[in-house]
Amino acid sequence: MTLKLIPFGLAALCILSAQDKLPEAPAKNTVLTVCTGCHDLDTVLETRHTKEGWKDTVDKMVDRGATASDEEFSAIVEYLTKYFGVTAVNKASAKEIEDGLGISAEQAKAIVEYRTANGNFKDIESLKKVPGLDAKLLDARKDRIVFN
């Protein structure tokens, strides 16, 4: 009997550990249930993606047999995009930049206008040249910004 409890206890510890890595939000349990059914959470989160990248990743998992409703898969994409996504500042719309970086609509609009007038950003330093942006805020979110 004790031998059966040990693996269960280890499984419970793994689930608790995985839960600690995910921010609280309505789709958290759906991500845990669907995504960790086949692999550990580190595999899910080791690479950040744009929203389109997360959609592609979820589609691949569906092709490999992941099961959930369309609403649950949509919720998973939104959750992963919000908490583990990146924003391609040279391609994204103002709304995508606003949502992806958690900045104001005015700041996101300024990024798009600057990009349109001056060309694509090469790095974080060129992004910091946009008037009205907080450089410290950009530095804090630099792991969520891509320039391709």
| Residues in CB range of 122: below 8 A, 6 or more apart | 147
* pTM value surpassing 0.85: no
Give pLDDT tens digits for 39-68: 888 887 788 899 999 999 999 999 999 999
pLDDT score of 2:
40
Structure tokens at 40: 């550990």
pLDDT score of 18:
52
Q: What is the pLDDT along the chain (148 residues), one digit of tens a residue?
A: 443 433 444 444 444 455 578 999 999 999 999 988 888 888 877 888 999 999 999 999 999 999 999 999 999 999 999 889 999 999 999 999 998 898 999 999 999 999 999 999 999 999 999 999 999 999 999 999 999 8
**Domain ranges across the chain:** 2-84, 87-146
Pick the CATH number of 2-84 from 3.40.30.10, 1.10.760.10, 1.10.645.10, 3.60.15.10: 1.10.760.10
pLDDT score of 98:
92
> What whole-number distance in Å separates Cα of residue 42 and Cα of residue 46?
6
